[in-house]
């Protein structure tokens, strides 16, 4: 059963094309990770699927109907990238306020304990730290026992322990049959939660595959070295940057690259190899011919 669907959807903001003919189905029981660089269109896609905005063209569906209809939205939970909590209310009061909008909400204590924030129940939200506010905002998406939840960068800015507590809450919801779409800038987060990853870049779906497959695509190494002489053309190198004598090369196979450098007789010093950042890997994907 398809819970959310985008069919050939585009969305423009003035001259900016935020989404460009995107099609996507989210089936019941899935956890789908949306990945992509800043400005790729992830938040826009979420805003269309949750009925906050309308597409410029194409169709969106939530639970088989227009996401703007209250009947569809009753089964929806959302935590946008930025949320405002009423600062003078206590966490317990905010939770009850949100719960009151749903026919069969989770009990307050259960919701708080699932997301590891029971100790905050009597605190005014205005006095919470940024990370604590974020945890409350994410928990609120689950208050009404939704069928599908959209989380836009749920754990950005959280420490490791808080992140794991939120992951546990998300996993429990999924284990009970819930469906989740989340965006993240951390591949680690998508790996921890999702099986399917959709990479969005320049408003288009670049890759829609298993997390394992996407990990393979973005597992690029950054090889840095100092060499006074220009480097020869090397197999597998997808990008080269030079700052004076310092060279930075991107390659999926750093071991082979180093062997090739030695074989080519290049004299180098200060060799450094590290994983390329996700942003570097996405830029590389964006430069490749689009498989979608
Ligand atoms: N309200 C708006 N008005 C004008 N342009 C917008 C608006 N919202 C988004 N955009 C533009 O649309 C494009 C897609 O933005 P979007 O926020 O959907 O990307 P994103 O993938 O969520 O990025 P990030 O990872 O930075 O959150 C960007 O070029 C952005 O500047």
Gap from CA of 246 to ligand 1 centroid (Å):
35
pLDDT value, residue 59: 97
pLDDT value, residue 289: 53
Q: What is the average pLDDT across 93-113?
A: 96
Would you say residue 252 has pLDDT above 90? Answer: no
CA 29 to chain CA centroid, nearest Å: 18
The confidence band for 46, taking pLDDT boundaries of 50, 70 and 90, is: very high
Residue 143 lies in a domain: yes
Query: Do 172 and 249 reside in the same domain of the chain?
Result: no
With contact defined as beta carbons under 8 Å apart, do 78 and 129 qualify? Answer: no
More confident residue, 278 or 67: 67
Q: State which ligand 1 atom lies nearest to the alpha carbon of 45.
A: 18
Domain that holds residue 227: 221-275
Helices and strands, counts by H and E, the chain: 10, 13
pLDDT digits (tens, 9 = 90+) for 145-201: 999 999 999 998 898 999 999 999 999 999 999 999 999 888 888 989 999 999 998
pLDDT digits (tens, 9 = 90+) for 194-251: 999 999 989 999 999 999 888 888 778 899 999 999 999 998 898 888 999 999 998 9
Residue 292 lies in a domain: no
Would you say residue 55 has pLDDT above 50? Answer: yes
Mutate to test the pocket of ligand 1, among 11, 14, 19, 40 (most ligand atoms within 8 A of CB): 40
Gap from CA of 51 to ligand 1 centroid (Å):
16
Residues near ligand 1 (Cβ within 6 A): 13, 16, 18, 36, 38-44, 81
- Nearest alpha carbon, ligand 1 atom 7: 13
CATH number, position 154: 3.40.50.300
pLDDT value, residue 176: 95
Mutate to test the pocket of ligand 1, among 16, 46, 282 (most ligand atoms within 8 A of CB): 16
With contact defined as beta carbons under 8 Å apart, do 221 and 228 qualify? Answer: no
Would you say residue 135 has pLDDT above 80? Answer: yes
- Nearest alpha carbon, ligand 1 atom 17: 43
Query: Do 245 and 209 reside in the same domain of the chain?
Result: no
CA 111 to chain CA centroid, nearest Å: 23
Please give the ipTM for the structure prediction.
0.96
Gap from CA of 42 to ligand 1 centroid (Å):
8
Would you say residue 277 has pLDDT above 90? Answer: no
Q: What's the total number of domains in the chain?
A: 2
Would you say residue 290 has pLDDT above 60? Answer: no
The confidence band for 256, taking pLDDT boundaries of 50, 70 and 90, is: very high
Task: Give CA–CA dist 251/234, Å, rounded.
Answer: 10
Query: Do 238 and 140 reside in the same domain of the chain?
Result: no
Query: Do 189 and 245 reside in the same domain of the chain?
Result: no
Q: Is 128 helix (H, G, I), strand (E, B) or coil?
A: coil
Residue 288 lies in a domain: no
- Nearest alpha carbon, ligand 1 atom 2: 13
Q: State which ligand 1 atom lies nearest to the alpha carbon of 14.
A: 4
The confidence band for 285, taking pLDDT boundaries of 50, 70 and 90, is: confident
pLDDT value, residue 288: 64
Q: What is the average pLDDT across 267-276?
A: 92
This prediction has a pTM of 0.86
């Amino acid at each position: 059963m398809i819970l959310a669907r985008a069919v050939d959807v585009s969305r423009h903001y003035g001259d900016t094309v935020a989404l460009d003919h995107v099609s996507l189905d989210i089936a019941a029981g899935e956890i789908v990770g949306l990945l992509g660089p800043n400005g790729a269109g992830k938040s826009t896609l979420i805003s269309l699927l949750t009925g906050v905005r309308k597409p410029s063209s194409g169709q969106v569906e939530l639970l088989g109907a227009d996401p703007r209809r209250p009947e569809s939205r009753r089964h929806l939970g959302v935590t946008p990238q930025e949320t405002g909590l009423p600062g003078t209310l206590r966490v317990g009061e905010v939770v009850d306020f949100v719960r009151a909008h749903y026919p069969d909400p989770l009990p307050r204590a259960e919701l708080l304990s699932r997301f590891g924030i029971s100790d905050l129940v009597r605190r005014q939200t205005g006095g919470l730290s940024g990370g604590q506010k974020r945890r409350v905002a994410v928990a609120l998406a689950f208050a009404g026992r939704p069928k599908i939840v959209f989380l836009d960068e749920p754990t950005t800015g959280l420490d490791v322990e808080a992140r794991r507590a939120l992951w546990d809450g998300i996993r429990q919801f999924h284990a009970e049959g819930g469906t989740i779409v989340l965006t993240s800038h951390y591949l680690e987060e998508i790996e921890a939660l999702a099986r399917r990853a959709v990479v969005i870049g320049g408003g288009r779906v670049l890759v829609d595959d298993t997390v394992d497959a996407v990990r393979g695509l973005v597992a690029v190494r950054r090889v840095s070295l100092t060499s006074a002489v220009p480097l020869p053309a090397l197999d597998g190198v997808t990008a080269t940057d030079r700052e004076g004598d310092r060279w930075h090369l991107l390659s999926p196979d750093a071991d082979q690259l180093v062997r090739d450098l030695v074989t080519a007789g290049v004299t180098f010093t200060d060799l450094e190899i590290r994983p390329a950042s996700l942003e570097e890997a996405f830029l590389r994907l964006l430069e490749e011919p689009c498989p979608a």
